[in-house]
Amino acid sequence: MTQRATLMVCLAFSSLVHGAVQAAELGVFASRAVWTVLTAIGPEFEKNSGHKLNTTTGLSAEFVRRINSGEAFDVIAAPPGSLVGLIRGGKILPDSRIGIARSRYGVVVRAGATKPDIGSVESFKRTLLNAKSITYLPVPGVPQLIEKLGLKDAIASKLTIPDDDISAELVAKGEVELAIVAATQAYDPWRRTGRSVACGN
């Protein structure tokens, strides 16, 4: 049985708080999983709607900080947990939240490397224990999974937790051996680095 964390991405419209969007440019905060999709469908939206998307991608915690500091925005696409505080703080309306996607988590290594075995819980644990270096983001889901598997202390010395959404890029560039990332990120590093990663089995 394959063990993977699941991420549900939600959409919230600040325009419902601040009034209808009149400007032709829409400010969008998008988690990496959604940003990857927007790079493909965004141009068609802009062509059909006449609006321009000004998209910022990164960690949802940074989006929350910027919004709470008063930065203007029109749309935020982020995991549900990141939206709770914004709803409580009146930054977005509760009924504006819409579930739009689920993104499974997987393991990636640099293209050309032996694909890691993650076909069962035990093989996944062995893969992490045998890896020379590991990276994942400090977002809800993966850290809890690592702790549940009893691996928190065992992998602590070889763990890199970046302060930006660049785990797959670190693997693609050869700086880290293995990353646990949203599945969509396995297809994205080439556009940023010119290098590819491979998914585990």
Residues 113 and 170 in one domain: yes
Residue 192 lies in a domain: yes
Tens-place pLDDT, residues 88-132: 898 888 888 888 777 778 898 988 888 889 989 999 999 999 999
Residues 114 and 92 in one domain: no
Residues 98 and 119 in one domain: no
pLDDT of the residue at 160:
95
Token pair recorded at residue 49: 């709607």
Token pair recorded at residue 83: 């939206």
Residue 1 lies in a domain: no
What is the crossing angle of helices 80-88 and 60-68, to 10°?
A: 10
Tens-place pLDDT, residues 129-182: 999 999 998 877 888 899 999 999 999 999 999 988 888 889 988 999 999 987
Residues 9, 13, 15, CA angle at the centre, nearest 5°? Answer: 165
Residue ranges in the chain assigned as alpha helix (H): 15-18, 32-49, 60-68, 80-88, 121-130, 142-148, 152-155, 167-172, 189-193
The confidence band for 200, taking pLDDT boundaries of 50, 70 and 90, is low
Residue 154, domain extent? 105-199
Per the structure, the count of domains in the chain is 2
Segment 50-60 shows an average pLDDT of: 88
Q: What is the pTM of this model?
A: 0.68
Residue 62 lies in a domain: yes
- CATH number for the domain spanning 40: value is 3.40.190.10
What is the average pLDDT value for the chain, to the nearest integer? 80
Name 7's bridge partners.
103
Residues 98 and 130 in one domain: no
Strand, coil or helix: what is 188?
coil
